[in-house]
Every structure is written in C-alpha cells, then in structure tokens.
Amino acid sequence: MLREKIDAALKTAMKARDEKIRVSTLRLINAAIKDRDIAARSEDRCEGVSDDEILAILTKMVKQREDSAAAYEEGGRPDLAEQERAEIDVIREFLPRQLSDDEIEEAVASVIEELDAHGLKDMGRCMGALKERYPGAMDFGRAGALMKKALA
C-alpha cells in the first residue's frame, strides 16, 4: 500500500511538473525500494519488501539526510543543507506522524513496565519491542537514551 502511495505521488508530481527536488526525491525512494526488492528476491521472498521494510528504508533515508544537512551546515554550505531538508520534507510525507518527546517517554515507560525490565541487560528486549510497535514513528536514538537512563 505504501509502495502504491509513493508511485502515485511520483506520477502526480511528474504530471504537475512539480519542483525538481520533489520528483528526484520520489525517484530516489523508488530506487531504494527496488534495490531492497532485488535483495529480497535473492532471499526467496518473491513478493518484495513489506510496508514495514519500506518504513525502515524511509526512516534511514531521513537519518542520512539529517546527518548530511548537519555536515553541510558545519562546512559552510547552507544551500546544500537546505536541499537535504527539502528532501527530508518529501520523505516524511510517507512516514507516520513522529511522536513527541513526551510520547516517547511514555512509550519507553510503558514498555519497561510491561516487560518487567530491571536493568541495562533488558535494554535490547525493550528496544526491540519499541521498534516493533512504533516503526518509523519515533527517533530510536532518543528513545534509546531515555531507555538507558530509565534502566540504569
């Protein structure tokens, strides 16, 4: 379903002759998905990647662009940083709403309570549960820091 939304957005953007950045970003998303499809076929999964895997791809693409934008800012290239942020905006259209810091704290606390976690040894189990429940909806780096603080 997510794949169809991305394809439809690309077709609409091309027909409307939208700004180049939108069309090129949507093409990059499609290329990343097709690349992962090829890898899936080599693992005998002929149906290709699932929506959860597409969410993971999109989340990774956002993270890469955030890192690049920060590097461009440090290097004195605000024009390139702005282009990276424009790509992030296009990619985020297909991701679920991002959880706020308060919502992340709440989710971390509920997972710790639910799994009866008592120390850093349980962190992997807790983070796995978070990633399963909130794919693409939270910054897992931030969640990991909060989890570590809560379990320490």
pLDDT exceeds 80 at position 123: yes
Give the pLDDT of residue 94: 92
- In the chain, ranges of CATH 1.10.10 domains: 101-151
Pick from 101, 99, 152: nearest CA to 126:
152
Residues 6+ apart with CB under 8 A from 78: 72
Question: Which CATH number applies to 2-92?
Answer: 1.10.1510.10
Torsion 124-130-132-137 (CA) sign = negative
Question: What global pTM score does this model have?
Answer: 0.75
Average of per-residue pLDDT across 102-129: 89
Looking at mean pLDDT, say which of 35-39, 40-44, 74-78 comes out highest.
Answer: 74-78
Yes or no: say if 62 and 95 are a contact pair by the CB < 8 Å rule: yes
- In the chain, ranges of CATH 1.10.1510.10 domains: 2-92
How many Å apart are CA 117 and CA 125, to the nearest integer? 9
Average of per-residue pLDDT across 131-135: 84
pLDDT tens string 46-100: 777 888 889 889 989 999 999 999 999 999 999 999 999 999 999 999 988 888 8
Which CATH fold topology does 101-151 show? Arc Repressor Mutant, subunit A (1.10.10)
